[in-house]
Amino acid sequence: MTYNNHFWDATVEELSSGYTFDENTGNYVCLLCNEHFEDGIIYPMDGTLYEAKKAVSQHIEQEHGSVFDYLIQLDKKYTGLTEHQKELLTLFYQGLTDKEIVQMQNGGSPSTIRSHRFNLKEKEKRAKVFLTLMNLLNKESHQESDDTFIHFHKGAKMVDDRYAITEAEKKKVLSTYFKEGLDGQLDKFPSKEKRKLIVLQNIMTHFELNKVYSEKEINHILTPVYSDFVTIRRYLIEYGFMERSKDGMEYWVKK
């Protein structure tokens, strides 16, 4: 599986629908889990046949509940929302009135809830201006450059300056540590945090989304990449690239 930027490159409208259309592959792509639906193919679901565009919508409803449910559960580093703001947004989304929300929370007053609504609307206005500024900036840039920051997985932990990595840095690090090519063996495992992240991200191209691996399968995949596969396996979990079951028997790519 190759990490893609569909989620981060999606427009607000695409994020709201939960999917995008990849013109290069002719696939409708679920932005929440990267499931692909090929245009022109009919997909059977619960006894009904769906074209790809409708199938991806059905998939989102069945597998993720709703786009709102998925996004509201993202970490604060992506939403910028406090837990209280998330709770209120969820209640607003459910269509509850200010009075009903006060009753559910066993405290406060309708005027307090209205104040929260107002503050969230102001936050929305600022977000719109910022998105417009960034859109104009990106249009002015015309094209990608080596100064462009690379995207990281949504499961990334402790996002800080370590993740401020440009395409130029990535290319340099990969050529240094994968001397036989990106699909080849890792020369040595780096000690610096930024380099670790770049190397681990490249190693993740050996794994597929929506597939559960046994520990034996993980070791089998990692061994040709680096002799100390246990260290690689540990860091893939530690940095949020993969998750594993409590008993350590099953591993999967973190979505």
Round to whole Å and give the CA distance between 216 and 156.
Answer: 24
Residue where a domain terminates, one of 17, 37, 69: 69
> Which tens digit of pLDDT belongs to each residue from 191-243?
988 899 889 999 999 998 888 999 999 999 999 999 999 999 999 999 889 99
Q: How many CA atoms lie within 13 A of 149 on its CB side?
A: 11
Domain assignment of residue 193, yes or no: yes
Shared domain check, 53 and 83: no
Quick one: average pLDDT of 120-124?
A: 94
Q: Is the pLDDT of residue 3 over 50?
A: no
C-alpha 56 chain-centroid distance:
17
Which residue bears the tokens 């893609």?
A: 4
> Which tens digit of pLDDT belongs to each residue from 27-72?
999 998 888 999 999 999 989 999 999 999 999 999 998 999 999 9
**1 within 8 A of 205, measured Cβ to Cβ:** yes
Shared domain check, 92 and 117: yes
Shared domain check, 221 and 172: yes
> Which tens digit of pLDDT belongs to each residue from 132-152?
998 888 777 655 555 566 566
pLDDT band for position 9 (50/70/90)?
confident
Write out the DSSP string of the chain. Answer: -----HHHH--HHHHHHTEEEETTTTEEEETTT--EEETT-EEEETTEEEEHHHHHHHHHHHHHS-HHHHHHTS-HHHH---HHHHHHHHHHHTT--HHHHHHHHTSS-HHHHHHHHHHHHHHHHHHHHHHHHHHHHHHHH-S--TTSBPP--TT--S-SGGG--BHHHHHHHHHHH-TT-TTS--S---SSHHHHHHHHHHHGGGS-TT--EEHHHHHHHHTTT-S-HHHHHHHHHHTTSEEE-TTS-EEEE--
Q: How many domains does the chain have?
A: 3
Structural domain including 62 reads 6-69
Domain assignment of residue 245, yes or no: yes
Shared domain check, 171 and 233: yes
Q: Is the pLDDT of residue 15 over 90?
A: yes
**pTM for the predicted model, two decimal places:** 0.63
Quick one: average pLDDT of 15-26?
A: 93
Nearest to 147 by CA among 120, 130, 169: 169
Nearest to 156 by CA among 67, 229, 245, 242: 242
Shared domain check, 79 and 18: no
Domain assignment of residue 27, yes or no: yes
pLDDT reported for residue 254: 83
Residue where a domain terminates, one of 30, 45, 69: 69
Domain assignment of residue 152, yes or no: no
